[in-house]
Chains A and B, each alone.
Chain A
Amino acid sequence: MVDLRINCAGIKSPNPFWLASAPPTNSGYQICKAFEAGWGGAVWKTIGAPVMNVVNRYAAVDFNGQKIIGLNNIELISDRSIEINLKEIAETKRLWPDRAIVASLMVESDRKIWHDIVKRTIDAGADGIELNYGCPHGMSERGMGSAVGQVPEYCTMITEWVTEVSTIPVLVKLTPNVTDIRFPGRAAKKGKANGISLINTINTIIGVDLDTFQIEPSRGGKGGHGGYAGPAIKPIALNMVSEIARDPEINLPISAMGGISNWKDALEFILLGATSVQVCTAVMHYGFRIVEDMIDGTTNWMEEKGYTSLDQIRGKALTNIANFGDMNLLSKHVAHIDEQKCIHCNLCYIACEDTAHQCIDLHQKKGKKQPTVREPDCVGCRLCYIVCPVDHCITMVQKDNGAQSKTWNELVKELPQPLSIEDLRKFQHKHGIDVH
């Protein structure tokens, strides 16, 4: 029997799927509707300093006819009053006691103001607090959001103000708009945070109108950077989550987000160390109903694999992350094209010929142009595999027996330093590796 229950830094929920702090969690009405659909938790849209929004808050990147591969926004934190939000938190918690309600907070950098809102949030009955150090637009210009997340010292300071009065778990939500995500993560740890949420949105300008030269979308002639989310940012989020998860100085539970659209995405984040996963863009595209497949798909996958609890898989992919210097240089793979499956689009040919290593030939066969790999020249780069539109047509075939291994880190210890290209060539030649 699969059990999807989780406990993220002391915040419990019946499944790992939480709505991220964003427009979908703007009100008790919406969150109740989401809980009815099956969401395990919700991070309330950030409560705090008074704000006023503009129109045309959202913009999206469509790709080849596919809508919203990335979503940009400049909506600010909740524009409703603290009182109304806290009242609705209390009401929602009473109606849905088994679900996680986490209050996202953002106020001015003043200890008293922070103490006040934290206490009121606890009184409202929230299960946890998420500190919004991430919003990259609007609030940051006022010294809040990512303005905090980008300076580790501020991160620690405000986290301390919160944790010194909080009786409920505190998650710190990080901005990805930094050069090394581990530093604000360590700062949060130093401030006694109970867990880390990441990633918030990424600074982006979505586009320029070719007729008016205005920034898309234009608000009275002006536009600017917003926070980017959605499927396009998932790989960035996966990497940052793994960096936080692998950092021995942090070692905190993670609530992960960034482009999670379905159960597969969610599992990837869990395999890289996440305990709960948060979703926004996919819900903004399709509504709360998508959680049904997230629960169903995860359950089916776990049943098929024989897992009963998410604890059994959490972080299981982390050990497979390696630095380049620890990868086997002698592993030999070459591309192989299955001529039975090939549909003769020749995209592999032109990709290899123009942009890779010129090792695919086209020759006439049964009235069609058949691409074939010239194996001795194939460096195994995998570009052809990526461009091929047919499943399992191009495969990367292992040509070594796996017995030989030499990593870069091992190699540089053996070869005279400073390393010369001649010595490297000798090594390559010895192992039948031709560089062309």
Chain B
Amino acid sequence: MHAQSMTSASRHTQDQTRAAYRRHQKRAAGIAQGLGWFSIGLGLAEFLAPHTITRALGMEGRETLVRMYGLREMANGAGLLSADNKAPWLWGRVGGDALDLATLSLGMEESNAKRDNAILATVMVGAITALDFYAAQRLDGLKQVQDAPDYSARSGFPKGARAVHGIAKDQAAVMRPRFIDNPPRYERQRQSAEAAL
């Protein structure tokens, strides 16, 4: 392939990278948006009906804590839906999930009649945590792509890659050691054979 087609191939690759970036950005942004609305919904439920939640989990007496968690969820959801950079809000959700899981572990006692519900809730929060983590990581990675400095003009070839492609091809098979002085017999023979050509 000549330098011209090499350049067009690399441009093609850059276009592909940009297209992949846009695809990933769309998908991650969609997940973040969904998690934002989920946060608002869960937050509202926790804030408005803490008794229902604590009863279902067999954790009566912790209504104030659940209400606080509801406020946290709503704030996080609002952040996710409004911020340009959603990654910190997603990491915030991951932290909140850890708190939820720690709290749910209190409902795992054998004496809790609603222990099965607490286990089910833990599994669900675990799954949501995985989704939060994935989306946060993905958006962080994309931010890195977005912030990457542009070195696309740094070819290192002042005359252009096309002008110098293959300019050193006579050097392409010079791994044979170059004897500075007193070359051994086989090297002298090779040199004379080349000279005779």
A binds B: no
Which B residues contact A (CB, under 8 angstroms)?
none
Which A residues contact B (CB, under 8 angstroms)?
none
